Amino acid sequence: MASAADRLNISSQLEHLQSRHVGTGHADATRHEWAVNIHRDSYASYVGHHAMASYFAVANGESVGRTKYEFTQKMLLPCGLPPELEEE
Amino acid sequence: MGDEIEAIEAIERLREARRATRAASGSREGDGRAMERAARVEVEDVDEEGGSARVKTRVKAPLKSYGAPKEFLEEGPLDAEEDEDLESDEALGFGKSKKVIDRESAYSKRRFKRELSPGKGSEKDAGEGRSYAERMQHAAIDRERDNTLRNIEKKQKEEAERLAEEARLAAARTSEPAASDAPRAAKRKRRWDAKPDDSAAGPAPAAPRVSEWESDDSAATGARWDDATPRGPSKWDETPKHTSQWETMESGTNAGDAKATPRRSRSRWDETPMVRASGDPSATPAWTGGETPVIHAGGETPKTVPGLATPSAAQIAAHQAMLQGNVPMTPEQYQQMRWQREIEERNRPQTDEELDELLPSEGYKILEPPASYVPIRTPARKLTQTPMPYGANAGFFSIPEEDRGQKFDVSLAPEGLPEMKPEDVQYFAPLLKETDEEALTIEEQKERKIMRLLLRVKNGTPQQRKSALRQITDRAKELGAGPLFNQILPLLMSPTLEDQERHLLVKVIDRILYKLDDLVRPYVHKILVVIEPLLIDEDYYARVEGREIISNVAKAAGLATMIAAMRPDIDNVDEYVRNTTARAFAVVAQALGVQSLLPFLKAVCHSKKSWQARHTGIKIVQQISILLGCAVLPHLKSLVDIIEHGLSDENQKVRTITALSIAALAEAATPYGIESFDNVLKPLWKGVRAHRGKVLAAFLKAIGFIIPLMDAMYANYYTREVMVILIREFATADEEMKKITLKVVKQCVATDGVEPEYIRNEVMPEFFKHFWVRRMALDRRNYQQLVETTLEIALKVGAAEIIGRIVEDLKDESEPYRRMVMETITKVIEELGVTAVDTRMEELLIDGMLYAFQEQTTDEGDIMLKGVATIVNALGLRAKPYLPQICGTIKWRMNNKSPEIREQAADLISAIAPVMRKCEEEQLLGHLGVVLYEYLGEEYPEVLGSILGALKAIVSVQGMTRMTPPIKDLLPRLTPILKNRHEKVQENTIDLIGRIADRGAEYVAAREWMRICFELLELLKAPKKAIRRATVNTFGYIAKAIGPQDVLATLLNNLKVQERQMRVCTTVAIAIVAETCAPFTVLPALMNEYRVPEINVQNGVLKSLAFLFEYIGEMGKDYIYAITPLLEDALMDRDLVHRQTAAVTVKHLALGCAGLGCEDAVTHLINYTWPNVFEPSPHVINAVTEAIEAARVALGPQFVLAYTLQGLFHPARKVRDIYWRIYNNLYIGSEDALVPAYPALEDDGPNTYRRVELDCFI
């Protein structure tokens, strides 16, 4: 019964998917949303791969720990405040 | 002469024309079928072996699990005893009828006594007609009245008994022979209304003649009161309607004082203007049809067919009401009407058109009937005929107009709607009238709309049903909760509802619940009244459905509404209502959390007003623990505290249910939570000593379930304490007590702290003395319980002890008892083996076993077969001395006349063949092989299947070389058996042949194998998957043995057949052949076959390729370049299925050669696949998405990202939709790997989009 009910709203599947993976998008996603996701993923990747983090640390002349900390901080608002939505 | 020729020509022309039309319709049908097939191809392409068959079996499967649920079996009986007139569920057979009502017990039928809409008139606007306070008040009045009535009844009874006693004394004094009549008279006194003077008349002339009234009442004592009371206060305080019946009766008895006959002549037909044809409330489900007047239309006789008797006023009235189409009829009437309709349909006169078609048009002419001819239409003759069904011909009886074009087979269906069954008419009657929709108000239009949709859902074809269901769901809010439920719920209460219809309607409710959400609030009680009966349905799925709906209602309406709706039912006088309400409450607790319900439960369980409320409250706790299982643990303490005081309640029923609830809680909590039960141990303990009978049984059960939770030391102590009482109760005659005692003994024995020595000395002697008696084997549930308990004891004290005690009983003269002994021994040996069995006992065991095996008349559940097999297998080498004797028995039984015995013997051979091999009885095995070989001509398929199974067992232990008869003789005998269509035969033959093909193919000529190949093709049609799988594998073995060429040719040829399942299986077989014989032996021929310009063949080839590349995996890299042009072509084909299957092939190919250096070819193929992303068909799009996923693995996510970026911000939403879906898949699959591949975005105003870190370098 549940499967039949699910089939009625395929969009619910997508919603479910989205709830599990934050970075996924949809047809109405804005450029800003997408960019924010890209940035957060990038920072997460830099922090997660130690080799990357140490590379950036050497390039910036910072300690690895600080570099990682800064990356983590930048994930908060990586691209600035979201632009005002145009009302139509 | 010329005329004749012309006539013949005319006939020829007619035939020609008919053939033409048939061909046309056939081709149309053919197209339809083709489309359907195409659709199915899509639907089922995902699973590899004929999904359709699985669909078929899936439909059948639920039947197996029919039957009362475990919890019912366990807790049912006590309830049954406890509640006055609950019928045992077990007594129910599964009726052939599909109607829900036909398989319902009298207890379940009580649901019809519930009122759907408690209010009158006001239900349109305010679903719940009465306020909560009013309903509570009514419930209280009901209870009060019930009490009063019971008191009156009791008094009357006492009075009557006293009088009877006096009468008996008087009779004894006079010592007349008539004294023997006294008990009978006394018996009649039990009716509370029986007048003393009636009884004082003693053996009056009226007494032996049992009038209708009497038979009614003595059949169901007090049934009338039970029947009338719960039917609702609205009736009670509005008109003294059912008292009228009493008046009748009263006057009837008065009249009967003088003479018996006049009483009968004073019929109820003319008595009241109300239509009431039914006499027996237990035969006619009293249908309270909301606002319509109660009409029992002729339940007692099917004679209401007009005209058979002089129509009384009542009958006419009933009939006319019926014609208006809104009067419910009894199921018997429906049955009759349906039957009539069928007869009418078959015996309808031929129409003019039919006659015109039958008779040549030339050479004949239609004569005018003579002017003097009058058709025989004497009413008397007409009356004996079957009349027209009510709906079709709207007239009571009228001389029909002469109408040559009359349609005799008009169905009861308006345009575009499915056919109505006669019983549907009362609900859907407005649809039959032609009305101008425009003229109706919006409300009426909505109502019609809902009606139409519901009719489609209920009676329509799957397509109609589906679309109607969707419409009703989508527009639920717009149509409104009120109109929807006002139509659906009465339908669900219909007495003629069938299982399927009920399922569909429940589904409708489920769907609209989602949509309506909190709009359902006013209708909660109504919905519950209709759905609650599902909770005690015997069908498991109905119960699950009921639970689902109630939990959805609870979630939509919220706890407060649920409690408000159900509270008045908690202390309803009708036990049925309370029972279902308790179950519903448990479901609500499950849905909304036990925690939130606790305060309410506490209040209910402490209710001072009525014991019913306490009883129901405690029952809710019981149901919660049954439903939740170990999930009650967090609330265990509070639940126990809530019901604890019930153990010392003044009402016996409350005490019983409390003990049962504690048992259920303890069972659910095992093995944790003993500390929660600390408080109840003492009262339970006291109770066990103080009580007798049912209450004691319940208390014992509670203790039995608590003991396993205890520490070893305490468990030991308590077991010893309770055992004294248990042993005392061993001797009880009460079946229920026996079952509980057995259960408690089982629980106690299984507990850690209890020592074997104690069991052996204290328990076992009494136990065997009282329980191991023949009578115990007769009742199925006693039997099961005894076997389980004995097994538990055996686990404690060892196998030898138990087997030693009962082995002699294998030779008992009672067969059921022997069977019970055999089953116990089987289970004990399964658990403990035979190491403890010494030589003497072994002899006894074998002796008894053979005796029991030979003396059996029937083997229910294969107990004997399993027993012998288990014993022999457990003995292993020790069985060697007995094998010749056992084989002798088997051989003798193989010769038996009865097929069951032959089948059992053959099954036994397959069971003991491994042991015979172990004992090196090869000669015996060979001998049995030959015997079985000789029996291959067996005509009973069940037996033949078993014989083949036995042969298979012998072949597998003997090996191909040593097998007698030799394989080269055996196999040719099997070839014709392959033609057998019986499932068991097919399965066993194909297994045997497959084994031979696998291990000993060289013993048989290649030509014989080819012959088998052809036969095997037929087996691909088998509905059972195991057979198809075995067949497909056998193709592989045969191809390996004789080379792929010939087998492949056969298989490729088979791709041309019509049947889809055949083709699918063939493609699998081809792929398997390719896998076993290396792809290069098969691929050329396969690719060549693709050139055949036939859609099925090409699809088959593509599918084979898909399976092939799936099976060979990495080996695919050697063939990818060879296959690419073919796939190119397929991916560009116009046909959807071509592209879909090719996409699947690409997927397997890409996954197979990921990382093996074939990126160029995969890129090329993906380039062809990509444009298909815009296909709307879900199957194609699935296949394509998966191919793209495979490309992600084979080519890297960066590659796919580059493709995807183009469409993410495309102006067209359709493009964006699918591209984002691909992107999301990609993202979920390889999130991290995408980081370096994301495009460089330019900053935009205040937002920085550039990833500056990537510009860093050292």
Q: Which residues contact B827 (CB under 8 A, 6 or more apart)?
A: B787, B791
Give the mutation candidate from B457, B1247, B1255 for the A interface (greatest A CB count, under 10 A). B1247
Q: Which residues contact B309 (CB under 8 A, 6 or more apart)?
A: B303, B315
Partners of residue A14 in chain B, C-beta under 8 Å: 1221, 1224
Residue type, B283: A
Lookup: tokens for B752 = 């850690």
Partners of residue A58 in chain B, C-beta under 8 Å: 1258
Residue type, B945: G
User: Please, which residues bridge with residue B498 across strands?
Assistant: B99
User: In angstroms, what CA-CA distances link B646 with B546, B614, B618, B898?
Assistant: 29, 8, 8, 59
Handedness of CA B584, B585, B586, B590 (dihedral sign): positive
Q: Give the ipTM.
A: 0.90
Per-10-residue mean pLDDT of chain B, 1258 residues long, equals 55 57 45 41 36 37 39 39 36 50 74 59 44 76 80 84 80 56 44 43 40 39 38 40 41 40 43 42 42 42 42 46 51 72 76 80 79 66 47 48 48 67 79 75 86 89 88 88 90 86 90 86 91 90 92 91 92 90 94 92 91 94 94 93 92 94 94 91 90 90 92 89 90 88 92 88 92 91 93 93 93 93 95 92 94 88 92 94 93 92 94 94 92 93 95 92 90 91 92 91 90 87 88 90 90 88 89 91 93 92 94 92 96 94 96 93 96 90 92 95 94 92 91 92 86 86
Residues B493 and B292: their CA atoms lie apart, in Å, by: 15
Q: Searching chain B, which residue's CA lies closest to the CA of residue A67?
A: B1253
Handedness of CA A15, A17, A21, A23 (dihedral sign): negative
Partners of residue B1253 in chain A, C-beta under 8 Å: 42, 46, 56
pLDDT value at position B421?
A: 78
Q: Tell whether A70 lies on the interface with B, counting CB pairs under 8 A.
A: no
> Would the pLDDT of A65 be above 90?
yes
Which of B40, B26, B23 lies closest to B1059, judged by CA?
B40
Q: Tell whether A46 lies on the interface with B, counting CB pairs under 8 A.
A: yes
Q: Which residues contact B12 (CB under 8 A, 6 or more apart)?
A: none
User: In angstroms, what CA-CA distances link B51 with B32, B43, B1028?
Assistant: 20, 9, 12
Reading phi first (left if > 0) and then psi (alpha if -120 to 50, else beta), residue B851 is in: alpha
Distance of CA B635 to the CA centre of its chain: 33
pLDDT value at position B1017?
A: 86
Lookup: tokens for B1040 = 């390996």
User: In angstroms, what CA-CA distances link B921 with B304, B627, B882, B892?
Assistant: 75, 54, 11, 19
First-to-last CA distance in chain B? 115
User: Please, which residues bridge with residue B188 across strands?
Assistant: none
pLDDT value at position B237?
A: 41
- Determine whether the interchain pair B1251/A39 forms a contact, defined as Cβ–Cβ distance below 8 Å: yes
First-to-last CA distance in chain A? 41
Partners of residue B1249 in chain A, C-beta under 8 Å: 31, 35, 39, 79
DSSP conformational letter for B6: H
Q: A60: distance to nearest CA of chain B, Å?
A: 8
Q: Tell whether A42 lies on the interface with B, counting CB pairs under 8 A.
A: yes
Element (H, E) at B867: helix B863-875
Least CB–CB distance from B1217: residue in A27, A31, A78? A27
Partners of residue B1257 in chain A, C-beta under 8 Å: 59
Which of B875, B868, B771, B882 lies closest to B819, judged by CA?
B868
List of E strands, B311-390? none
How many C-beta atoms surround the C-beta of residue B1225 within 10 A? 19
Q: Tell whether A85 lies on the interface with B, counting CB pairs under 8 A.
A: no
User: Residues B1177, B1138: contact at Cβ < 8 Å?
Assistant: no
Reading phi first (left if > 0) and then psi (alpha if -120 to 50, else beta), residue B67 is in: left
How many C-beta atoms surround the C-beta of residue B883 within 10 A? 18
Which of B1177, B520, B473 lies closest to B465, judged by CA?
B473
Residues B792 and B52: their CA atoms lie apart, in Å, by: 45
Q: Which residues contact B267 (CB under 8 A, 6 or more apart)?
A: none
Q: Tell whether A31 lies on the interface with B, counting CB pairs under 8 A.
A: yes
pLDDT value at position A23?
A: 86
User: Residues B119, B128: contact at Cβ < 8 Å?
Assistant: yes
- Determine whether the interchain pair B1228/A34 forms a contact, defined as Cβ–Cβ distance below 8 Å: no
pLDDT value at position B439?
A: 78
How many C-beta atoms surround the C-beta of residue B483 within 10 A? 17
> B983-1000 and B1006-1019 helices cross at what angle (nearest 10)?
150
- Determine whether the interchain pair B1247/A5 forms a contact, defined as Cβ–Cβ distance below 8 Å: no
User: Residues B299, B332: contact at Cβ < 8 Å?
Assistant: yes
Which of B202, B184, B207, B190 lies closest to B256, judged by CA?
B207
pLDDT value at position B413?
A: 57
Residues B1127 and B1141: their CA atoms lie apart, in Å, by: 10
Residues B844 and B1038: their CA atoms lie apart, in Å, by: 49
User: Residues B724, B760: contact at Cβ < 8 Å?
Assistant: no
Q: Is B270 exposed, middle or buried (0-12, 13-18, 19+ CB in 10 A)?
A: exposed
User: Please, which residues bridge with residue B296 across strands?
Assistant: B276
Peptide bond into B671 cis (omega under 30): yes
Lookup: tokens for B859 = 């083997």
- Phi and psi, residue B337, nearest 5°: -65, -40
DSSP for A3-58?
HHHHHH-HHHHHHHHHHH-TT---TT--HHHHHHHHHHHHHHHHHHSHHHHHHHHH
DSSP for B137-183?
HHHHHHHHHHHHHHHHHHHHHHHHHHHHHHHHHHHHHHT-GGGGGHH
- Determine whether the interchain pair A29/B514 forms a contact, defined as Cβ–Cβ distance below 8 Å: no
Which of B1007, B1009, B1027, B1010 lies closest to B1019, judged by CA?
B1027
Least CB–CB distance from B1235: residue in A35, A45, A81? A45
- Determine whether the interchain pair B1249/A79 forms a contact, defined as Cβ–Cβ distance below 8 Å: yes
Partners of residue B473 in chain A, C-beta under 8 Å: 8
Reading phi first (left if > 0) and then psi (alpha if -120 to 50, else beta), residue B287 is in: beta
Q: Tell whether B79 lies on the interface with A, counting CB pairs under 8 A.
A: no
Least CB–CB distance from A42: residue in B470, B1245, B1251? B1251
How many C-beta atoms surround the C-beta of residue B395 within 10 A? 11
User: Residues B597, B617: contact at Cβ < 8 Å?
Assistant: no
Residues B663 and B705: their CA atoms lie apart, in Å, by: 6
Reading phi first (left if > 0) and then psi (alpha if -120 to 50, else beta), residue B1157 is in: left
Q: Tell whether A87 lies on the interface with B, counting CB pairs under 8 A.
A: no
